Structure 1
Amino acid sequence: MKTFAAISLFIFTGIFTALFFGFDLSEASESLEYDDEQEGLEDEVVIKFSHVVAENTPKGEAVRKFASLVQDRSNGEIKVEVYSNGTLYNDENEFTALMNGHIQMIAPATSKMTERFPKWQVLDLPFAFPDYDAVRQAYEGEIGLTLLNNLENGVKGMTFWYNGFKQLTSDKQPLTVPSDFNRTHFRIMPSPMIESQFRALGASTSMLPFNKTYSNLEVDFIDGQENTPSNVYTKKLFQEQKYMTISNHGYLGYVVLMNEAFWENLSEEHQTIVQEALNETTNWIRRHSIEMNDAHLRMMKRADSIEVHYLTNKQKQLWKQTFEPVYEEAENIVGKRLMEEIYGIQEQYK
């Protein structure tokens, strides 16, 4: 018993000595050594920019250009982290992630705004824009301003970015007249106006995320889809389709959105840098998106894996007649004022 007590006393004394005399408390209380590599990290502003397309598309290239401009002009004070191909969020959940502040910027297709903001369907009207100048008039004029002012839920509209006119692909047959669409099934973006167009043509539709389009073509769940040549080529959709129709029946563009609270917390200097970088990028993508789509269309033709058809004026007129009920339906949704703007643009650029 005495032996046990002696051993216990010895252990207790050792622990007591180590706790009070074994550590140099003066060293623990000293400041950490300065590390110049950490200098400025607390002041760095990080913008997470998420999008769902490939990097070598008009939008993908534009996001990278914007990120580079911001980095350079802020002398590294602002860093734009780019997440492409839906690696962070897909087109079904990126808007919610933006609202919640999990990311700071996105650039969804304008069609994907229509479920939350119905007036945006005006941009999905079939054959709304006769040419590229007409699109610019819509984006930079009264229509664009009205739509950006229509936003809410803590989201700020910054600018519109350009891609190109949509074309149609099919695995069943060439699509040249409305009757070619009978009993076909298409992937579309989540826009009631686009759904109405395909219904008028006699086709059924599924609203699928862009990144799931290829797999659904591969298993023949859908017969076709609509998109720009750049998206069709970079996502290799043409490898699962036999026919492409150059219809120019709709325009695919993007709206650049930022979390509003994040924007308001930026300094005036940083806001200016971001806005000027966006303006320069917008001008760049407007010019280069046309070149990129033309180049990707030529590449698909050279690959000789898809048969390309062009609508004649007579065929296009048949399509427009088929779409007349869609225009009648649209006025009740988007309002008379925006419809008058569309008609004015069509008259100006016809």
Structure 2
Amino acid sequence: MKTVAAISLFIFTGIFTALFIGFDWSEAKDSVEYDDEQEGIQQEVVIKFSHVVAENTPKGIAARRFASLVKERTEGEVKVEIYSNATLYNDQNEYTALKEGHIQMIAPATSKLTDYFPKWQVLDLPFAFPTYDAVKDAYEGKIGQTLLEELEEDHLKGMTFWYSGYKQVTSSEEPLLNPSDFNRTHFRIMPSPVIQSQFKALGASTSELPFNKTYKNLAVDFINGQENTVSNIYSKKLYEEQDHMTISKHGYLGYVVLMNEQFWEELSEENQEVIRKALQETTDWIRRHSIEMNDAHLRRLKRNEAIEVHYLSNKQKELWKQKLETVYNKAEPVIGKSLINEVERIQESYQ
């Protein structure tokens, strides 16, 4: 017992001596040096950029290019973290995640915004933009400006439109060449009333499914057809579950780059300017290279025995257009006469 008491007294004495005699608090305080590396960590701005497609698609490559430009021009002060393939959020919940600030940046297909902003259906109208220059006119002209301004109502910052490619249709049943070929088919679609109206006019039934669940639903035959760009069909291997692809170019699939408004406003003016310029350069770059990527993927699909590629004749395309005229009539009251007139102007200019 005395031994325990003696040991306890020895330990207490040692601690007391170290604290009040052997340790100089003022010296310790003065000896703490400035650590610029730690401050760098605190000042680093992180932009979480979530999207749902593969990295080897126009959007995937554009996102990485944008991130690289921002990192280089801010000397690492701003870091863009890319989350592809819906690893963070899918196309059904990324919009809410952005608004709530869980992520800072997304680039959804323009069709995904039609639930919130019905006028955005204008970009889904069938055969609306006959050439790549027509698409550029729509995105960078009156239509694009009008649509981006609408986003302010929901406290979002619309940054730019990114290009992807024309949509084609695929089927596990038979080639889709004439409107009657769509009868009794079941298609995966994005959530857009215009797209739903389009397939209804062609005689098909539809289901709205997330992009990353399309392959599985094709595999179990819940759906037997879908529309998409060649790059998405190739990168997601949708051709493995489809026997036919028709180069229809009946619509254009593009993306809108969005940022959380509060996050954007808290950035310094210098960083805002870097991001603007990096996005503009990326937009210009992807507009040109998205065409090359889709063409390259199409060549690979033509060599693949899993799927047969078909082309619409001029007569067949005219039959599609006639069948889909009702879509325009139904959509005009929602989209508005002004935007419909702009579509008609673009069609006449680039036909």
TM-score of Structure 1 vs Structure 2, range by shorter chain: over 0.9
Output the CA distance in 2 between the equivalents of 1:188 and 1:21.
Answer: 76
Could you report, residue by residue, the CA deviation over 1:30-80 in whole angstroms, capped at 9, with x for unpaired residues?
Answer: 664554533422222111111111111000010111111111111221111
Instruction: Within 5 Å, give how 1:192-271 maps onto structure 2.
Output: 192-271=193-272
Match of 1:342 in 2: 343
Output the CA distance in 1 between the equivalents of 2:280 and 2:67.
Answer: 13
Instruction: Within 5 Å, give how 1:1-350 maps onto structure 2.
Output: 13=9, 16-17=12-13, 20-23=16-19, 24=23, 26=25, 32=32, 34-151=34-151, 152-350=153-351
Report how far residue 18 of structure 1 moved: 5.7
State TM-score, norm by structure 1. 0.94
Output the CA distance in 2 between the equivalents of 1:106 and 1:51.
Answer: 6
Output the CA distance in 1 between the equivalents of 2:99 and 2:11.
Answer: 55
Residues 83 and 31 of structure 1: CA distance in aligned 2, closer, same or farther (over 3 Å) = farther
For residue 262 of structure 1, what is the amino acid of its counterpart?
F
For residue 146 of structure 1, what is the amino acid of its counterpart?
T
Output the CA distance in 2 between the equivalents of 1:220 and 1:203.
Answer: 15
Output the CA distance in 2 between the equivalents of 1:290 and 1:116.
Answer: 29
Output the CA distance in 2 between the equivalents of 1:171 and 1:258.
Answer: 38
Could you report, residue by residue, the CA deviation over 1:63-99 in whole angstroms, capped at 9, with x for unpaired residues?
Answer: 1111111111112211111111111111111111111
Output the CA distance in 2 between the equivalents of 1:123 and 1:157.
Answer: 16
Output the CA distance in 1 between the equivalents of 2:121 and 2:71.
Answer: 35
For residue 20 of structure 1, what is the amino acid of its counterpart?
F
For residue 95 of structure 2, what is the amino acid of its counterpart?
F
Q: How many residues align?
A: 346
RMSD: 1.7
Report how far residue 25 of structure 1 moved: 6.8
Report how far residue 317 of structure 1 moved: 1.0
Could you report, residue by residue, the CA deviation over 1:100-140 in whole angstroms, capped at 9, with x for unpaired residues?
Answer: 11111110000001011100000000111111111111000
Output the CA distance in 1 between the equivalents of 2:130 and 2:252.
Answer: 10
Report how far residue 179 of structure 1 moved: 1.0
Specify the SS of the correspondent of 2:133.
helix
Report how far residue 20 of structure 1 moved: 3.4
Output the CA distance in 2 between the equivalents of 1:19 and 1:126.
Answer: 82
Unaligned runs of 5+ in 1: none
Specify the SS of the correspondent of 2:176.
coil
For residue 150 of structure 2, what is the amino acid of its counterpart?
N
Could you report, residue by residue, the CA deviation over 1:261-302 in whole angstroms, capped at 9, with x for unpaired residues?
Answer: 111111111111000001100000000000000000000111
Residues 12 and 212 of structure 1: CA distance in aligned 2, closer, same or farther (over 3 Å) = same
State TM-score, norm by structure 2. 0.94
Output the CA distance in 2 between the equivalents of 1:171 and 1:31.
Answer: 73
Report how far residue 310 of structure 1 moved: 0.5
Report how far residue 154 of structure 1 moved: 2.0
Residues 329 and 262 of structure 1: CA distance in aligned 2, closer, same or farther (over 3 Å) = same
Report how far residue 12 of structure 1 moved: 6.5
Output the CA distance in 1 between the equivalents of 2:345 and 2:102.
Answer: 40
Could you report, residue by residue, the CA deviation over 1:119-173 in whole angstroms, capped at 9, with x for unpaired residues?
Answer: 0000000111111111111000000000000113221100000010000000000
Unaligned runs of 5+ in 2: none
Report how far residue 21 of structure 1 moved: 3.6
Output the CA distance in 2 between the equivalents of 1:128 and 1:32.
Answer: 66
Q: Which moved more, 1:122-131 or 1:73-82?
A: 73-82
Output the CA distance in 2 between the equivalents of 1:155 and 1:83.
Answer: 20
Specify the SS of the correspondent of 2:154.
coil
Output the CA distance in 2 between the equivalents of 1:154 and 1:100.
Answer: 11
Specify the SS of the correspondent of 1:175.
coil
For residue 107 of structure 2, what is the amino acid of its counterpart?
A
Report how far residue 313 of structure 1 moved: 1.0
Report how far residue 178 of structure 1 moved: 1.0
